[in-house]
Structure 1
């Protein structure tokens, strides 16, 4: 896939994202041949948009979700500054593209993690995190989930389904709390929908964060202080309807609310 086709795909994805539109399928000549090309296109989308990258999203840390997302490794995407909101948040369902609410821990960096030769350790990455928050990612996709849904590299070029991130409260003394073992309960309009723990889905939020730090280091991108990273779903993927309010209850860590108006 030559550079002109990569740029054509980036322009298309930027227009769809900027205008809040989806399309069915993708011209085969624009489907990236591999994940590395897809991530290069995602960087071009950033250039086309001209929006600040205020964070990152991580998905598919474990095998079960990898099967659902048609991948054999974790994936990531950019989160843009206009799309990071504070809880409680209200969004318009009609303006979103195949939205999916995902309960996640969100880490905020207090130090840069730039590209380097040596791999980052979990301890180094943990030290760089200034706060850990409860949260919900309102994932989106610029491609309609129909029979023409394109292969994974097209989704990675689109930011791996990145959308809105709703941040909850900072978790006090999070480094000494049982983050991995804390059960999270997701309700919709007061009805239980899902339960989960970081231990089951991620092991601990610092593990996917370390994976991302090394992936972005390897590819010469790095992460910056102040960025917020949504570390992966604890409750799987759901299809919301207009009028639904989702509340993620993290027990003693607090709750996060997102409404699809």
Structure 2
């Protein structure tokens, strides 16, 4: 895929975000040949938009979700300002593209994790974390999920389906709390529909964040203080309908609410 095609796809994807649009399918000539190319195009989308990267999303940290998303490794994407916001969050369903609400721990960095030669350890990343919050990732995809849905590298170039990060209050004394073992329950319109733990799906929120820190270090991007990282779904993926209210109950860590109107 030559640089002209990469730039063409970056302009297309930036336009989708700038104007709130989506499309069915993608010209095969514009599908990135591999994840590395896709992530380079995602960086070009950032440059094309000129928007601040306020956070990151991580998905498919373990094999079960990797099978669902047709990947053999975790994936990531940029989350742009002002789409990192305190809950409760309300989204207009008709304005969303393939919306997927996912219950996640949101990890806020207190200091930079810049590119470097040596890999970051989990302890180093833990020390760089300012706070951990209960939250939602309200994912979207700028490609219509139909029979023409393009291969995964096209989705990676689109930020791996990144949308909104909605976060609740910071968890007090999070370093001493049983974050990994805490059961989280997802209610849809008052009815329990899903549950899960970090231990099942991501081990601990800082573990996937460490993976991301090393991926971004390796590719010369790095992470910045103040960015919020959505660390991976604890309850899988589901499709909302207009009028749905989702409440994620993190037990002693609080609740977060997302509405689709």
TM-score normalized with structure 2 length:
0.99
Residue aligning to 1:120:
120
CA distance in 2, matches of 1:137, 1:65: 15
Residue aligning to 1:104:
104
Residue aligning to 1:84:
84
Show the 5 A alignment for 1:30-45: 30-45=30-45
C-alpha deviation, 1:84, in angstroms: 1.1
CA distance in 2, matches of 1:36, 1:211: 16
CA distance in 1, matches of 2:258, 2:39: 29
CA distance in 1, matches of 2:7, 2:168: 36
SS at 2:211 equivalent: helix
C-alpha deviation, 1:110, in angstroms: 0.5
CA distance in 2, matches of 1:191, 1:116: 47
Give the length in aligned residue pairs. Answer: 261
C-alpha deviation, 1:85, in angstroms: 1.4
C-alpha deviation, 1:22, in angstroms: 1.2
Residue aligning to 1:181:
181
Show the 5 A alignment for 1:228-239: 228-239=228-239
CA distance in 1, matches of 2:172, 2:187: 24
CA distance in 2, matches of 1:96, 1:50: 22
Any idea what the Cα deviations from partners look like across 1:77-134, whole Å, max 9, x if unmatched?
A: 0000111111111111111110000000000000000000000000000000000000
CA distance in 2, matches of 1:191, 1:49: 40
C-alpha deviation, 1:158, in angstroms: 0.1
CA distance in 2, matches of 1:81, 1:193: 30
CA distance in 2, matches of 1:191, 1:157: 36
C-alpha deviation, 1:220, in angstroms: 0.3
C-alpha deviation, 1:193, in angstroms: 1.0
Residue aligning to 2:147:
147
C-alpha deviation, 1:21, in angstroms: 1.2
C-alpha deviation, 1:18, in angstroms: 1.4
TM-score normalized with structure 1 length:
0.99
C-alpha deviation, 1:229, in angstroms: 0.3
CA-atom RMSD in angstroms: 0.5
CA distance in 2, matches of 1:95, 1:85: 18
Residue aligning to 2:58:
58
1:211 is aligned to 2:211: yes
SS at 1:133 equivalent: strand
CA distance in 2, matches of 1:134, 1:154: 30
C-alpha deviation, 1:144, in angstroms: 0.6
Residue aligning to 2:161:
161
C-alpha deviation, 1:11, in angstroms: 0.5
1:255 is aligned to 2:230: no
